[in-house]
């Protein structure tokens, strides 16, 4: 089981992040505790959306899609704009 998650920086709301993990709580803590070099400078982060997938492959595919051009447009329309 995997989660695809979307985060937003609390102090820099224009900064967002999309990821995939098996342990959502631990991964969010890692983002907020300097454990990820890519996200450390925009911490603290908050969850905006997370989706659970029973099939790990589908989770990785959806994360990859959300990082593509059409996936970013989809996320903007369905996830980011609702917050």
CB 38 within 8 A of CB 19: no
- pLDDT tens column, 40-80: 999 999 999 999 999 999 999 999 999 999 999 999 999 98
Output the pLDDT for position 83: 52
pTM: 0.91
Domains of the chain: 2-80 (3.40.1440)
User: What digits encode the pLDDT tens for the residues 32-41?
Assistant: 998 888 899 9
């Amino acid at each position: 089981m995997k989660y695809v998650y979307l985060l937003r920086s609390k102090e820099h709301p224009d900064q967002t992040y999309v990821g995939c993990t098996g342990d959502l709580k631990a991964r969010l803590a890692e983002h907020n505790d300097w454990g990820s070099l890519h996200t450390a400078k925009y911490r603290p982060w908050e969850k905006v959306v997370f989706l659970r997938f029973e099939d790990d492959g589908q989770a990785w595919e959806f994360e990859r899609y959300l990082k593509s051009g059409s996936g970013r447009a989809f996320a903007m329309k369905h996830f980011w704009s609702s917050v």
